[in-house]
Amino acid sequence: MSILGDEIIDADYTESKIVAGQRSIEVIETEIITITRQAQVTAMHFICELGCRLTEAKELVEHGQWGQWLEERVNYSQSTAENYMKIFKEYKGKQYSLFGDLSESQTLLNLDATKLLLLTKIPADEREQFADDNDAENISVRELKQRIKALEHIKGKLEKEAEDKQKLQDNADNTAIRALEDEMEDAIDKANKKQKEIDSLKAQIEELSSQAIVPSDNELEKLKAEAEAEIKADYEGKLTKAEKEKKELEVKLKALEEDIDNQIEEAAIIANKNIEVAVNKLKVDKDAATDKIIELEKKLKGSNSDIAKLNIYFSEFQIDFEKVQESMKAIKDNENFEKIKAGIIGQMSSMLEMLSEV
């Protein structure tokens, strides 16, 4: 029996002296099949045992002396030894007892060492299925090589396609990441520019705030004249508005009087009680309108008096000052509150000095 190269395993056969016709052909067939399976298991067992010991020996032989040791000490070629060791490594978990259950992995047990060695190119968990699918027991070694090579080609192609697909995906991901990074850099640049603009404006504001503003006498006179003109214009506007309101009230009063007369006549027809209620209400409205007209006439009559003018100006000033106070309270939490407050206090101080000089 030739196994993997130039090694020969010899066996002696004892001629069986059996008289023909004493046993049935079925019994003989069964014995032949059984002995064949036992021989296959035994061969597999011995190859694995040899591979195990050769593996152990290689660890002990000095480096570079392995081929010489094989040839001189055990009469093995290096290729045969390496094949036995590979079979041991790949199939050591599949060693079967000579008298054990032959049903498990029967496909592999039926193969010779050459085919078992070829099947080591197939992953261990796919090996038995591949052997079954391709009828490894009955095809030639050459055909088995071709089918294994075809499978490797298909796997290589699939792996290449998967690798190319992954590369494309990686490139797409990298492109998207680079685009996001560019957008982020642009956003950061814009934010930095805005911050620089803000810092520059703050510096300008601080510089202007630190500069003391002292108006000249001419500027003060100009401001005073402008303020007086503004006050005068405001007062005249208010007088004009009061006169207009007076005229409007007179028109309304006249209309009310006419309306009263009309309603009295209508109420007399409807009922005396309703007439009295309506008349009383209209009289109250008339009195209120009359009182307001009288008040406006008093103001208008005294408008030529300087004291009256001053009273009006001062009343308006108090109202405006209260509005300033309310506005200051509303912006108390503003970061520029203290600067605005200081400016107002400075203006008030100037006004007090002006008043003290009158």
What digits encode the pLDDT tens for the residues 24-36? 999 998 999 888 7
303 - beta bridge partners?
none
Banded pLDDT at 134 (limits 50, 70, 90): very high
For the chain, the straight-line distance linking the first and the last C-alpha, in angstroms and rounded, comes to 140
pLDDT exceeding 70 applies to what percent of the chain?
79
Mean pLDDT of 82-87: 92
- Give dist(CA 249, CA 256) in Å, integer: 10
SS3 for 353?
helix
Banded pLDDT at 15 (limits 50, 70, 90): very low
Average of per-residue pLDDT values in the chain: 78
96-119 per-position pLDDT tens digit: 443 334 345 667 777 888 888 899
**Could you count the other beta carbons within 10 Å of the beta carbon of residue 119?**
24
pLDDT of residue 62: 94
**Under 8 Å between Cβ of 157 and 131:** no
Query: Does residue 140 come out as left (phi exceeding 0), alpha (psi in the -120 to 50 range) or beta?
Result: beta
The angle formed by the CA atoms of residues 99, 105 and 107, to the nearest 5 degrees, is 105
Residue carrying structure tokens 């000579």: 98
Tell which wins on pLDDT, 273 or 190.
190
pLDDT above 80: residue 185 = yes
8 - beta bridge partners?
2
Name the DSSP letter for residue 71.
I
Mean pLDDT of 324-342: 86
263-304 per-position pLDDT tens digit: 767 765 775 565 566 557 667 766 776 776 677 566 656 555
pLDDT of residue 344: 87
pLDDT of residue 354: 84
Tell which wins on pLDDT, 44 or 84.
84
**Under 8 Å between Cβ of 68 and 57:** no
SS3 for 8?
strand
Closest alpha carbon to 45 in 92, 114, 107, 102: 92
Range from 78-87, 200-209, 280-289 that averages highest in pLDDT: 78-87
pLDDT of residue 276: 62
Residue carrying structure tokens 């400075």: 346
pLDDT of residue 209: 67
- Give dist(CA 116, CA 98) in Å, integer: 18
Tell which wins on pLDDT, 205 or 21.
205
Mean pLDDT of 324-330: 85
**Least confidently predicted of 16-30, 165-179, 218-232:** 16-30
Closest alpha carbon to 36 in 109, 142, 116, 113: 109
pLDDT of residue 352: 85
- Give dist(CA 79, CA 85) in Å, integer: 10
Closest alpha carbon to 297 in 253, 234, 258: 253
Tell which wins on pLDDT, 236 or 100.
236
How many residues are recorded in the chain?
A: 358
